[in-house]
A and B are shown apart, each in its own frame.
Chain A
Amino acid sequence: MNDLIERTDTGELLLRDTTRRSRRVRNRLASIWMTGSLIVAVVPLALVIGYVLVKGIGQLTPDWFTKDLPAVTRKAGGGMGPAIVGTLLITLTAAVMAVPLGILGAIYLHEYGGRGRVARLIRFMADVMTGVPSIVMGLFVYTVWTIAHGLSAFGGALALACLMLPIIIRTTEEMLKLVPDELRLASYALGNRKWRTIVTVVLPASFGGITSGVMLAIARAAGETAPLVFTIGAARKLNLSIFDGPTTSLSVQIFGNAQTPFEAAQARAWGAALTLVAIVFILTILARVVSAAVARRHNA
C-alpha cells in the first residue's frame, strides 16, 4: 500500500482519472512551489561558495599562511598568518573552557537532575542562552573582562565559550538520552558507583554523538565575528600569547577588509573567507562523518 502512494506514476495515473482539473492544477502548483523553494535556496549557496572559491583561491600562496599582515591594507602583499593562528587559538581556548563545562552540565541535567526543578530551570535557561545574540556576548565580555584586562585572545575566547556552552549542553543531553538504561543497570550490577558508571559506561557509549555535537559548536564559533571585534583588538603581527596583548582573527579581517574600497584589501577579504569557510566546512563534515560512523557501528 505504501508502494502505491510513493510510486509517482501510480499517483499520476490515479490523479488524472479521478480528480477534477482545478484540484489537479492546485496540486501541480504546490509541487512547483516545493521544488522551486529548494532551487531558490540552493542558488545563493552556490553563488556564495562559487565567489569565495573563485576570488579567494588566487590568494592562497605559501606567503598567505606564513607572513604577517601588511602595514598598508590598500597595497597587495603580506599574508594572513596571524589571523589564521588567531582564529585557531581563540577557538581552541574557547573549546577548552566550554566543552568540559558543557558535557558536565549535560551530565547533571540527564543523569542527576532529570525532571527536577533545578534541571528544568537550567535547561530552559540554556535554551534562552542559545538565543542571546553574539554581539551581546561581545559586549558582556567587554564589560566584565576587556575593560579591566585589556584586549587579548582570551577575551574573545570567553565570548565564544559563552556562545558554545548552551549548544554543547543541549546536544550532549540529547546524546545521553540515547544511551540505553540497560547499560547503566548492568554497570550498577557489576558494583560500579554512579560516577564510575557515567565516566566508564555512559560517556564512552555516547562518545560519537557528543563529539559530533561539539565539533558543530566549534565550527559555529570559529566563524563568529561580532563577539571578537571589541575583545581581541586588531594586531598585525603574530601573537601567540593568549592573555597578553591584542591579536586578530580571520573573521575580523574579513569584516575590516570588506568595508574598504581597495582592490587588494577586498582580495584579502576573499582569501580570508575561503580559508575560514574551509576550516568551518572541514569541521562540519568531520562531525557528519563521525556521527555516521558511530551510527553504522551501532546498527551493525
Chain B
Amino acid sequence: MAMTPIDQHIAPGKFPGGDAASLLGDGPGRRGDRIFRAVALGAGLVVLVVLALIAASTTHEAWPAFRAEGLSFITSSTWIPAENKFGALAFIYGTVLSSMLALVLSVPVSLGIALYANEAAPSRIRRPIVYVMDLLAAIPSVVYGLWGIIVLAPFLGPNVYEPINNAVGGWPVIGWFLKGTSGRSFMTAGIILAIMITPIITSLSREVIATVPRAQREAAYGMGATRWEMIRTAVLPWGRGGIVGAVMLGLGRAMGETIAVALVIGSQTGQITTHLFEAGDSMAAVIVNQFGEATGTHRAALVGLGVVLFLVTILVNVSARSIVGRFDRQARGA
C-alpha cells in the first residue's frame, strides 16, 4: 500500500504498542478502509479510462475517412464533401494561424498585467485586478462569439481593415499580411481568442512571478536598478520557464476554442492565405458548422478533424506541463 508521509508516522512497527498502527493495517474487520480506498482509486482511474476511450472511440469512428484519404487527410487542402475529398490542411492552417495571432496579441498584454499586478500596482488595486481577470475568464466563449459577430466584426471590416488594406495592402512584405477587407476573418478570430486567453496567461504568469524571492528583487534595487531594470534582471529570468509554460497552455486553449471562432472566422473552406483580413476556417469551427448536415464519410472526416485536434492539443499541453514542471522543481531548489 502506497503511503503518504503522514501514514509513515504511524506505520506498523513504529509504535512499541502496535495498536495505533494497526488502524491503518489490513487486518480483519478493516473492510471499511479497504472499500473506501478502492472506491477512491476507482474514481481516480475514471480519468485514465475516459482519456483512453476518447482516443479509441473517436479514432474508430473516424477510421473510414482516414482509410479513404490516407496521409492526404493532413497534406491536402481540397475539402469537397460532395466528391468525397477530405483534405484538412487548410483547417489546420487556420487553427494555427488564428491561435498564433491570438498569442502575438495576448502575450504582451498578459505579461504586462501580470507584472503590473505583482510589481507596480498599489496594493489596494491588486485584488480588483484579480477579480477583473476572473470575470474575463468566466464569460462563456459563445458570448464573446456573439459580441464578435454582431459588434466587432462589422466594425473592424470597414473601419479598420479596409483603411489598412487600402494604405499598405500593396506594399511588399507587410502587404502580404495586411490585406483583405472581410470583417469576419483570421484577424478577428485572433482578436477574440486573444481576449479569451489573456486571463489564463495572466493568472499563470502571475503565480510564477510571485515566486521570485524577495531578496532577489531587493538585491537588484540595492544595486541601484530602476523598477524596469529590476524586472528585467531579477524577475523575468527567474520566471522564464513558467511564463513559457503559461503561454503554451494559452496556446492549447486557443487551438481548441470552437464556438467563438466558428462565429467570427468567416467559414471560407479551403482557404490558405497569408492575408490576415480574409475569411478562413479552423478545425474546430468546421466540425461544429458542418456536423449537422454531414453523413457517412463526411461525418467520419469531421470526427477525424477532432482526432487531429485532440492529438495536437495534447502535444501542446504535455510540453507545457513538462516545462512548468521543470520550472517548479527549479523554483523549489531541487
A122 touches B47 (CB 8 A): yes
CB of A133 within 8 A of chain B?
yes
CB of B108 within 8 A of chain A?
yes
Write out the residue numbers on chain A whose beta carbons fall within 8 Å of the beta carbon of B129. Answer: 38
A226 touches B288 (CB 8 A): yes
CB distance from B291 to the nearest CB of A (A): 6
| Interchain CB contact (< 8 A) of A112 among B35, B41, B291 | B41
Give the residues from 103 to 139 in chain A that come closer than 8 angstroms, CB to CB, to chain B.
104-105, 107-114, 116, 118-119, 121-122, 124-137, 139
Chain B: which residue is nearest A281 at the CB level?
B138
A101 touches B53 (CB 8 A): no
Write out the residue numbers on chain B whose beta carbons fall within 8 Å of the beta carbon of A140. Answer: 53-54, 57-58
Chain B: which residue is nearest A137 at the CB level?
B54
CB distance from A49 to the nearest CB of B (A): 8
Q: Tell me, in angstroms, the Cα distance from A222 to B133 when the chains sit together.
A: 19
Q: A135 with B309: in contact, given A143-B61, A193-B32, A280-B140 (CB under 8 Å)?
A: yes
Q: Tell me, in angstroms, the Cα distance from A276 to B249 when the chains sit together.
A: 26
Give the residues from 46 to 83 in chain B that come closer than 8 angstroms, CB to CB, to chain A.
46-48, 50-51, 53-54, 57-58, 60-61
Q: Tell me, in angstroms, the Cα distance from A260 to B19 when the chains sit together.
A: 72
CB of A61 within 8 A of chain B?
no
CB of A297 within 8 A of chain B?
no
A131 touches B284 (CB 8 A): no
A254 touches B112 (CB 8 A): no
B142 touches A118 (CB 8 A): no
Q: Tell me, in angstroms, the Cα distance from A49 to B139 when the chains sit together.
A: 9
Give a binary string over A213-227; 1 marks a CB under 8 Å from any B CB, 0 the rest: 000000110111110
Stretch at the interface among B163-171, B250-258, B272-280: B250-258
User: How many residues belonging to A are interface residues under a CB distance threshold of 8 Å?
Assistant: 106
A interface SS class: helix
Residue among B119, B145, B258 with max Cβ neighbours from chain A (10 Å): B258
CB of B39 within 8 A of chain A?
yes
Give a binary string over B32-47; 1 marks a CB under 8 Å from any A CB, 0 the rest: 1101110111111111
| Interchain CB contact (< 8 A) of A193 among B33, B135, B263, B316 | B33
Q: Tell me, in angstroms, the Cα distance from A11 to B51 when the chains sit together.
A: 53
Stretch at the interface among A65-73, A74-82, A181-189, A237-245: A181-189
Chain B: which residue is nearest A24 at the CB level?
B226
A143 touches B2 (CB 8 A): no
B321 touches A254 (CB 8 A): no
CB of A298 within 8 A of chain B?
no
Give the residues from 5 to 33 in chain B that come closer than 8 angstroms, CB to CB, to chain A.
5-6, 9-10, 20, 23-24, 30, 32-33
CB of A200 within 8 A of chain B?
no
Chosen A-B contacts, 27 in total, with CB atoms closer than 8 Å, are A31-B227, A41-B109, A51-B151, A104-B43, A105-B40, A111-B4, A116-B2, A122-B47, A125-B47, A127-B317, A128-B314, A129-B47, A131-B253, A132-B310, A133-B284, A140-B54, A144-B57, A169-B44, A181-B5, A185-B10, A193-B23, A195-B36, A226-B258, A226-B259, A259-B263, A280-B138, A284-B134
Residues of A within 8 A of B (CB): 1, 5, 11, 15, 18-19, 23-24, 26-27, 29-31, 33-38, 40-42, 44-45, 47-49, 51-52, 100-102, 104-105, 107-114, 116, 118-119, 121-122, 124-137, 139-140, 142-144, 162, 165-166, 169, 181, 184-185, 188-189, 191-196, 198, 219-220, 222-226, 229-230, 251, 254-255, 258-259, 266, 269-270, 273, 276-277, 280-281, 284, 288
Beyond A49-B139, A101-B43, A277-B139, 14 extra complex contacts between A and B, CB < 8 Å: A11-B227, A27-B229, A30-B228, A105-B40, A108-B44, A114-B4, A126-B47, A133-B258, A140-B58, A194-B36, A195-B32, A195-B35, A223-B139, A226-B258
